[in-house]
A and B are shown apart, each in its own frame.
Chain A
Amino acid sequence: MSEVVLSLRGLTRDFGALRAVNSVSLDIQRKSITGLIGPNGAGKTTLFNMVAGALKPTKGTVTLSGADVTGLSSDALFARGLARTFQIPRPFRRMSVLDNVLLAPPKQTGETVVGALFRRGRVAAEEARIRDKARDILDFVTLGALADHPAGKISGGQMKLLELARALMGDPDVILLDEPAAGVNPSLARILVERIEELNRRGVTFVIIEHDMDFVMRHCDPVIALAEGRVVFQGTVAEAQADPLLLDAYLGTAA
């Protein structure tokens, strides 16, 4: 029936004496929008970093679409269809918004020295295609009008949207979003949610870290809660809402 696309087993990460993520095991179903919640410092971003290849796990394994990808670097994972965004946006500041997005497609002919110098016709044709796609995606996240602006000069909320746009350029199967709506104004956040749900209908799996419980309860299912590096809850939204301890614990420590 449902299929596991991403599977973590015993994933652990230490920073010196601090165990930021402590033996996390979970399965992410394909085509789900999984909400990942937990108080500040619970280890959510650290978990993302390990899954996306930005941090090496101290222990444990990550399996993506059936293949063991533990310890692969993030460029390799992106090529395998796993994209992530950053909690604090990391735009390429002295590049245009459009260039930020054009960068992402993998295996571009013009990305090698030989291709760039000697296969200019092919590169130009590819660029035209990538550019059309990039324009569509920028329009999709409402950044079309800012295509030629330096990415360092757009607003924080727009940078969040740019993060999503860049991730989409690689046609990923799985997207990890780290607080995509934080700092985004409500009308932009609504657009963001629409976009996520539309992509989800097309088959993209999302895992979303979010502090806004309203957002999580409305748009995510299932929900996973981390606290002090451990999974403390895993279940449907209905179960989460019915669990007073969870919300208490969450709100109690988060605020």
Chain B
Amino acid sequence: MSGVVSYLVFFATMAAILAIVVLGLNLQWGYTGLFNGGVAAFFGAGAYVTMLLGGRPEPGQFGGFLLPFPVAIAGGILFAGLLAWFFGALTLKLRHDYLAIATFGVAVALESVARNAEWLTGGAKGLRGFPRPLEASIADNFLYGLFFLALVLAVLAAVYVGLERLVRSPYGRALRAIREDEEAARSLGKNPVRLRLQSFVIGSMIMGAAGGLYVAFYAFIGPQDLAPILTFQVWAMLIVGGAGNNRGAVLGAFLIWAAWTASGFALATFAPQAMQLYTGPIQYILIGSVIVGMLLWRPQGILPERIGQGRR
């Protein structure tokens, strides 16, 4: 019984962290029409920097400054934002597909840095050892799990409320106008380059925050956490939940994460031994099918964007 409950707490914490990432992508894609093909890069940037600033020192390893968690995660968020600002400023004036290609490239490059720059990132074995917030005051493991879930949910709620305020304001209106028709928005006095860059940076900072929480949750970060599968999962969550709808984004995160873990569990338990080697690829195919099916039959997602009446 308590095993099930702890598992649920564990599951919900991870799902809520992913929901934060999906909310970040929803601002970029759902409201602004920016195709971020490197979600994992901004998540990973936030995660690694949080680890470097807040982690424990290791011999021969840069970082491990043991800064308090809020400071460490703020650094992670800032770094994710700087990364987004740099690549956004380079590509957002160009045609739309350049951002997709550039972000994808950033993710590949960052994963490669994480794998190879051992002095900084610990290389393939990653970085381990992170004093989790208030760890010393809450001795019981299960209670700490509950506390950490509450912390993640509080961040999720804050991000959700902030984004809702943003997208329902004149600012959100301008973002959506740019998504719909950049030239028409420009002819009505809006500055698409500025708005797109802001939206891209804010969305990426939100992803970076999720990365910081992830590091505190696992007390570990490694290059495999920056793999393209994360970008893929987050996109599936947004498409299934409903781009342009923040509630949809959160719902999609929980649904797809449940489906992902359930399929992993089912394959491990019921699939013949020979197939278990292929659990990863099979999950890839499953999630790919979900994306394709959704795009074919319900492209607007489970909770579609609401237009006009009742939106506010």
Contact = CB atoms under 8 A, between A and B. Distances in A.
Interface of A: 52, 54, 73-75, 78-79, 83-84, 86, 90-100, 102-104, 106, 108-113, 115-117, 120, 123, 127, 147-150, 166-167, 169-170
Interface in B75-90: none
Interface of B: 162, 165-166, 169-174, 176-177, 179-181, 183-191, 198, 202, 244, 305, 307-309, 311
B157 to A, nearest CB: 15
B176 A94 contact: yes
A22 B231 CA distance: 50
B189 A75 contact: yes
Contacts of A113: 166, 171, 198, 202
Contact of A92 (B171, B177, B305): B177
Contact of A116 (B166, B188, B191): B166
B173 A99 contact: yes
Given A100-B177, A113-B166, 11 more contacts: A54-B183, A75-B186, A78-B188, A79-B189, A92-B176, A96-B307, A103-B190, A115-B171, A116-B166, A123-B169, A147-B308
Contact of B188 (A94, A110, A150, A166): A166
B180 A92 contact: yes
A27 B165 CA distance: 46
Nearest to B300: A94
B186 A110 contact: no
Nearest to A176: B187
A167 B187 CA distance: 9
Nearest to B172: A116
Contacts of B307: 94-96, 150
A111 B188 CA distance: 13
A82 to B, nearest CB: 10
16 contacts: A79-B189, A91-B181, A94-B180, A95-B180, A99-B176, A110-B171, A115-B170, A116-B166, A116-B169, A116-B170, A117-B165, A117-B166, A120-B165, A123-B169, A127-B170, A150-B308
A90 B177 contact: no
Given A54-B183, A90-B184, A95 B176 contact: yes
A53 to B, nearest CB: 8
A74 B170 CA distance: 20
A102 B170 contact: yes
A200 to B, nearest CB: 21
Given A92-B177, A95-B180, A96-B307, A52 B172 contact: no
A78 B189 contact: yes
B166 A149 contact: no
Contacts of B311: 96
A127 B311 CA distance: 15
B173 A95 contact: yes
